[in-house]
Amino acid sequence: MGTRVAVIGAGISGAACAATLRRAGIDVAVFERGRTEGGRMASPTIGQRRVDLGASYFTASDDEFLAQVRSWRDDGLARPWTDTFDVISPDGRSTTTGPMRWAADDGLRSLVRALDPQAKAGNQITDLRDLDQDAVVLAMPDPQAARLAPDAFDWVDYEPVITVAAAWDTRAWDLDTAAFVNGDPDVTMIADDGSRRGDDAPVLVAHSTGELATRHLSAPDDAIAPVVATLRRLLDIGREPVVTYAHRWTFAKPTTTHGDEPFGLATSTGRLLGVCGDSWCPSGPPRTEAAWLSGHRLGAALADELG
Ligand SMILES: Cc1cc2nc3c(=O)[nH]c(=O)nc-3n(C[C@H](O)[C@H](O)[C@H](O)COP(=O)(O)OP(=O)(O)OC[C@H]3O[C@@H](n4cnc5c(N)ncnc54)[C@H](O)[C@@H]3O)c2cc1C
């Protein structure tokens, strides 16, 4: 039998790691506790239509990730969305132009699925001793990895976000793409999901502040009313939405990072234990690109060690 690796977590970092290991000829088993792959690039069906509930978009600057993005684009999966967002502040509204933000017509989760179509969901790992592979990869937020290997690394903390999706019968707001919201106690970001998904559906997705999420973590539906009220106030929407949905991200974003390290790799109970994810981001913010790079680079390093 050849070399075997268990990758726990089928978000973008785990999928990138698995794909790189498979290309190196290694036998990979992916374990994902959720009902589908994607992790924080989630695009569940709400009211018969996919909605991006996690990452709003992604950016790309690293050459290796740019090559991956071009491949998604050439396969018709990802497309450039916009480089311009609104900014809503207590002082008023303006726009800001930055890097190209990319979106996926079928939802960002489709990109994770395309990376590693073999991932099987619905498999939670609770004890690493249940695995007999030659090496194990933890591809998940640090607090979740810490439950499986408490002493293996210096884990970092994550903060929560509650995402609220709201659908109207018709488009009733003046927002072309998305808005960064500054200085609001409840909402940090509003995205027009119909704009980014390319079907013009009248659906907005709002990400809460950490404070609002912390207050409503045990009952996320209670965040719907204040977030919808904020959406209606900020965008001057006269009507209540016809569908609303709240999703709790207990570990949405790291509050600090692992500095210059692109991934973690150690020997634990006689075998290699790797860790990747968005908290391992030496050259950029803890976002989608960093998570992909961390998983891909860990996969390449493990393939070297095991090859
Ligand atoms: C609300 C929000 C908005 C964001 N906005 C943006 C944005 O606009 N742009 C951007 O680039 N990034 C954004 N991000 C960040 C981006 O989504 C993440 O950086 C990226 O998806 C992280 O991928 P990952 O693979 O490291 O982790 P995850 O996507 O969290 O994947 C980890 C996976 O491991 C699984 N898992 C955990 N424990 C176990 C276990 N014991 N057994 C089996 N499976 C397990 C989980 O179910 C999950 O699927 C946002 C994130 C959130 C939450």
3-class SS letters over 239-307: CCCCEEEEEEEEEEEECCCCCCCCCEEEEECCEEEEEECCCCCCCCCCCHHHHHHHHHHHHHHHHHHHC
The predicted structure's pLDDT at residue 123: 93
Instruction: Please state the φ and ψ torsions of residue 171, each to the nearest 5 degrees.
Output: -65, 125
Alpha helices of the chain — where are they, by DSSP H? 12-23, 63-74, 109-115, 142-148, 193-197, 210-216, 224-235, 288-306
Any residues with Cβ below 6 Å from ligand 1, and which? Answer: 8-14, 31-34, 39-41, 54-58, 124-125, 139-141, 144, 161, 163, 207, 249, 252-253, 277-278, 286-288, 291
pLDDT at site 268: 86
pLDDT, mean over the chain: 96
Amino acid at 167: A
> Is 118's pLDDT higher than 90?
no
pLDDT tens-digit series, residues 67-104: 999 999 999 999 999 999 999 999 999 999 999 999 99
Alpha-carbon gap, residue 296 to 298, rounded angstroms: 6
In this predicted model, what pLDDT tens digit does every residue of 19-47 receive, in sequence order?
999 999 999 999 999 999 999 999 999 98
Residue type, 295: G
Residue nearest to atom 51 of ligand 1 (CA): 55
Distance 39 CA to ligand 1 centre (A): 4
CA dist list (Å): 109 to 50, 57, 80, 251, 263: 10, 11, 16, 18, 23
Percent of the chain at pLDDT exceeding 70: 100
Share of the chain above pLDDT 90, in %: 95
In the predicted structure, residue 222 carries a pLDDT above the cut 70: yes
Domain boundaries, the chain: 4-306
Tallying the residues shown for the chain, one arrives at 307
pLDDT tens, position by position, 159-183: 999 999 999 999 999 999 999 999 9
pLDDT greater than 70 at residue 1: no
**Full-model pTM:** 0.98
Residue 114 Cα to ligand 1 midpoint, Å, equals 16
Among 15-19, 57-61, 267-271, the minimum mean pLDDT is found in 267-271
What pLDDT was estimated at residue 2? 81
| The ligand 1 atom nearest the CA atom of 58 | 11
The stretch 228-232 carries a mean pLDDT of 98
pLDDT for position 14: 98
**Best of 288, 289, 292 for a ligand 1 pocket test (most atoms within 8 Å of beta carbon):** 288
Indicate which atom in ligand 1 lies nearest the CA of residue 161: 1
Do the Cβ atoms of 9 and 295 come closer than 8 Å?
no
The ligand 1 atom at the shortest distance from the C-alpha of residue 34 is 47
Q: Domain 4-306, what fold?
A: FAD/NAD(P)-binding domain (3.50.50)
Q: Is the pLDDT of residue 307 over 90?
A: no
Work out the average pLDDT over 2-20. Answer: 97
| Residue 41, both tokens | 């690039």
Residue 265 scores a pLDDT above 90? yes
The reported pLDDT for the residue numbered 45 is 95
